């Protein structure tokens, strides 16, 4: 019995241990959770403190930099006489273009020009073998001599038979027959002369001459080759470049302006040709005419201008920007196009004025920035600030823009580089632009 109870007691002890284990495990997990929460709170607090310090440092740095002037480049607004012009795209066209072809067939003997050479009207450029055509001319001349002798004989016979008819020796029919033979001989002489003239023309065609003053292009035939009359491939192309023409188009809505300007001015309207970048003047000419019809597919009309082109600056088929000057505008306000920016309210410029930023422009700044602006700082020279001024651009001329009258005055300093760093009233350190306008 004793052993049985002991066994029962020993059996109850493990059950008590098992009932206490869940409570101990739950308490341990609770302590771990509390420790983790405390650690997270410490980390979050440290991060908040650090971020506030970084934010404060950034604000202090921004405030410190608020007083630093922004380096900018400036140029001056000017008042000057500028042309009122219409802009268009044009193509340089040779005033005359001639493709030389051979009028006779034969072997090419000489080519008397260099490709790209300037030639003059009547200058011999190529020579075809003239011997066959010289022989034909000599043959026609010989036939003329023969027929001339026959004509003299026929005239004598006709005169003799006419005297015999008057004397009643021969019939009238015989006399008229001799007169008719004399007339046929005269016709043969006329035919011989025409053959001689044709032979001389063909002989002249053996020397190919320039029909105008111009520039020869690349030749299409070499000496020794056989050329044929009327062949599809030309021998060489000659273009007349003194003078030279420019063909350009304008919208039909602008034609009345051009016509009014043509009637108002006694002299032809001036036309200027600029390079592809529309910044360098190539040549200046005058308007010749307006085409007699409007292209219905594009709603534009073609205009033709003439340029002397003495310096050979224009080439056939060259692309140019054309400005047709209608009149001159006096005392116009001209600024560099680089100074004009566009915003939600339209075009504007930054005008540099002396002195610090006015106080009323600091009202919307943060408190720290206001304090930075008001803090004393060492200045090593005069102070400048940039004011935002709205403008209206009437039109552009190359790298300059023409503004409406009264918006700016001559001598205003405009920011042409560094506008993206500015707001209205920013402190600036102006430096003259490298362009001539800013000097």
pLDDT surpasses 60 at 61:
no
Between β-strands 226-227 and 106-111, what pairing exists: parallel, antiparallel or unpaired? Answer: antiparallel
- For residue 380, the model assigns a pLDDT of 54
Calculate mean pLDDT across residues 404-422.
89
What's the full length of the chain, in residues?
A: 439
Query: 285-319 pLDDT, tens per residue?
Result: 999 999 999 999 999 999 999 999 999 999 999 99
- For residue 377, the model assigns a pLDDT of 47
Which residue, among 434, 356, 426, has the nearest Cα to 71 in the 3D structure?
A: 426
Q: How confident is the prediction for the chain on average, in pLDDT? A: 83
pLDDT surpasses 50 at 55:
yes
Per the CB < 8 A criterion, the answer to whether 88 and 348 are in contact is no
- For residue 425, the model assigns a pLDDT of 86
Calculate mean pLDDT across residues 277-283.
89
Which pLDDT band holds residue 8 (cuts at 50, 70, 90)?
Answer: very low
- For residue 183, the model assigns a pLDDT of 87
- For residue 135, the model assigns a pLDDT of 96
For residues 39 and 37, what is the distance between their CA atoms, to the nearest angstrom? 5
Contacts of 398 (CB under 8 A, 6+ apart): 274, 278, 279
Task: Count the Cβ atoms, other than its own, within 10 Å of residue 147.
Answer: 21
Calculate mean pLDDT across residues 326-335.
91
- DSSP annotation of 363: T
Calculate mean pLDDT across residues 203-207.
95
In DSSP terms, 428 is beta-bridged to 70, 384
Identify which has the larger pLDDT, 407 or 191. 191
Question: Worst-scoring range by mean pLDDT, 14-28, 174-188, 295-309, 331-345?
Answer: 14-28
- For residue 309, the model assigns a pLDDT of 93
Which pLDDT band holds residue 369 (cuts at 50, 70, 90)?
Answer: very low
- For residue 58, the model assigns a pLDDT of 56
Between β-strands 70-76 and 426-432, what pairing exists: parallel, antiparallel or unpaired? Answer: parallel
Contacts of 437 (CB under 8 A, 6+ apart): 75, 76, 78, 336, 400
- For residue 286, the model assigns a pLDDT of 96
- For residue 19, the model assigns a pLDDT of 46
Query: 239-249 pLDDT, tens per residue?
Result: 999 999 999 99
- For residue 26, the model assigns a pLDDT of 59
Report percent pLDDT > 70 for the chain.
Answer: 82
Question: Worst-scoring range by mean pLDDT, 199-203, 375-379, 388-392, 421-425?
Answer: 375-379
**What is the token pair recorded at 383?**
């102070």
For residue 129, give the 3-state DSSP assignment.
Answer: coil
Per the CB < 8 A criterion, the answer to whether 104 and 205 are in contact is yes
- For residue 27, the model assigns a pLDDT of 67
- For residue 357, the model assigns a pLDDT of 59
Q: How far is CA 72 from CA 62, 168, 341, 373, 427, in A?
A: 19, 124, 15, 20, 10
pLDDT surpasses 90 at 272:
yes
Backbone angles phi, psi at 381, to 5 degrees: 165, -175
Calculate mean pLDDT across residues 212-227.
93
For residues 269 and 254, what is the distance between their CA atoms, to the nearest angstrom? 15
- For residue 373, the model assigns a pLDDT of 45
The alpha carbon torsion through 25, 30, 36, 41 (nearest 10 deg) reads 180
Query: 118-166 pLDDT, tens per residue?
Result: 999 999 999 999 999 999 999 999 999 999 999 898 888 888 888 888 8
Question: Omega into 243 within 30° of 0, i.e. cis?
Answer: yes
Which helix (H) or strand (E) covers residue 244, if one does?
strand 236-251
pLDDT surpasses 60 at 335:
yes
**What is the token pair recorded at 221?**
């035939």
Most confident of 320-324, 342-346, 392-396, 420-424: 320-324
Query: 65-99 pLDDT, tens per residue?
Result: 555 788 999 999 999 998 888 999 999 999 999 99
Which pLDDT band holds residue 362 (cuts at 50, 70, 90)?
Answer: very low
- For residue 17, the model assigns a pLDDT of 44
Between β-strands 393-397 and 384-390, what pairing exists: parallel, antiparallel or unpaired? Answer: unpaired
| pTM beyond 0.85, yes or no | no
């Amino acid at each position: 019995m004793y052993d049985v109870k002991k066994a029962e007691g020993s059996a109850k002890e493990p059950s008590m241990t098992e009932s206490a284990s869940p409570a101990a495990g739950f308490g341990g997990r609770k302590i771990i959770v509390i420790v983790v929460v405390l650690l997270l709170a410490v980390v979050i607090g440290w991060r908040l403190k650090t971020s506030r310090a970084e934010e404060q440092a950034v604000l202090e740095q921004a405030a410190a930099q608020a007083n630093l002037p922004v380096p900018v480049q400036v140029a001056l607004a000017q008042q000057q006489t500028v042309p009122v012009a219409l802009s268009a795209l044009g193509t340089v066209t040779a005033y005359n273009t001639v493709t030389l072809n051979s009028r006779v067939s034969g072997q090419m003997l000489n080519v008397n020009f260099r490709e790209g050479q300037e030639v003059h009207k009547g200058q011999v450029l190529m020579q075809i073998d003239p011997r066959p055509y010289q022989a034909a001319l000599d043959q026609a001349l010989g036939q003329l001599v023969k027929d001339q002798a026959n004509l003299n004989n026929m005239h004598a016979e006709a005169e003799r038979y006419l005297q015999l008819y008057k004397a009643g020796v021969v019939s009238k029919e015989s006399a008229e027959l001799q007169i008719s033979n004399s007339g046929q001989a005269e016709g043969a002489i006329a035919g011989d002369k025409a053959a001689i003239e044709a032979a001389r023309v063909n002989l002249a065609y053996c020397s190919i001459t320039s029909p105008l003053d111009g520039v020869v292009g690349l030749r299409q035939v070499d000496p020794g080759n056989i050329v044929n009359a009327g062949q599809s491939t030309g021998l060489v192309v000659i273009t007349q470049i003194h003078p030279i023409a420019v063909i350009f188009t304008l919208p039909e809505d602008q034609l009345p302006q051009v016509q009014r300007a043509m009637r108002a001015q006694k002299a032809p309207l001036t036309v200027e040709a600029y390079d592809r970048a529309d910044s360098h003047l190539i040549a200046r000419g005058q308007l010749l005419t307006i085409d007699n019809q409007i292209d219905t597919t594009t709603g534009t009309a073609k205009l033709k201008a003439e340029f002397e082109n003495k310096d050979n600056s224009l080439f056939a088929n060259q692309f140019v920007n054309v400005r047709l000057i209608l009149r001159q505008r006096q005392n116009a306000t001209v600024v560099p196009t680089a100074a004009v920016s566009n915003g939600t309210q339209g075009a504007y410029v930054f005008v540099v004025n002396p002195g610090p930023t006015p106080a009323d422009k600091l009202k919307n700044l943060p408190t720290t920035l206001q304090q930075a602006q008001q803090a004393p700082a060492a200045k090593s020279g005069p102070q400048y600030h940039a004011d935002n001024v709205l403008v209206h651009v009437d039109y552009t001329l190359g790298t300059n823009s023409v503004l409406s009258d009264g918006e700016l005055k001559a001598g205003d300093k405009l920011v042409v580089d560094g506008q993206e760093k500015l707001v209205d009233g920013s402190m600036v350190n102006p430096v003259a632009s490298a362009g001539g306008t800013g000097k």
